[in-house]
Amino acid sequence: MPTTRNSLPDNTRKAMIALLNARLADAIDLRLAVKQAHWNVKGPTFIALHELFDQIQGRVDVFVDDIAERAVTLAGVAEGTAQAAVKGSKLPPFPTNITAESEILQAVADRLAAFGKLAREAIDGSDEAGDKDTADLFTGVSRQIDKDLWFVEAHLQ
């Protein structure tokens, strides 16, 4: 492991780098799923959903960068390739054969909820490992994903 002046113990940093890369794969997958929804949604509220999905994707893109940079900050390597995301994502595959608003909304909501759960697990894992900064990063991610899930679910009611 590369040297750093970061005061976290090596074993904590190694565990956090692995956790961060696992969630990075999920975040990249989520980003692409939301963009898939953005491109393909059809229906009477198309423009509202098209813009909402674009906004959510933009926020997830920031999370991708934050998660990757935290891994590198801890003297790790960010594993942010498409191949790493495919191999590592715990999200269910986004269906590419749907376009109807209700189906797209349900698919996006399912993935936001799954990612939110993984982010909350990362908060707990980071906190237990003694890395308050990584826990804080995932707290911010979780809070925004929950809000975005609310926005999406409001369209399903």
Encode pLDDT of 38-78 as tens digits: 999 999 999 999 999 999 999 999 999 999 999 999 999 99
Work out the average pLDDT over 79-85: 97
At 6, is the pLDDT very low, low, confident or very high (cuts 50, 70, 90)? confident
5 in a structural domain: no
Q: Write the single-letter amino acid at 132.
A: K
Q: Name the percent of the chain lying above pLDDT 90.
A: 94
pTM, 2 dp: 0.96
Q: What is the CATH number of the domain that holds 45?
A: 1.20.1260.10
Encode pLDDT of 114-144 as tens digits: 999 999 999 999 999 999 999 999 999 999 9
Token pair 């900050």 is found at: 73
66 in a structural domain: yes
Count structural domains, the chain: 1
Q: Packing angle between helix 132-154 and helix 101-129, nearest 10 degrees?
A: 160
Query: Which residues, 6+ apart, have CB-to-CB distance to 74 below 8 Å?
Result: 4, 6, 8, 13, 16, 17, 20, 134
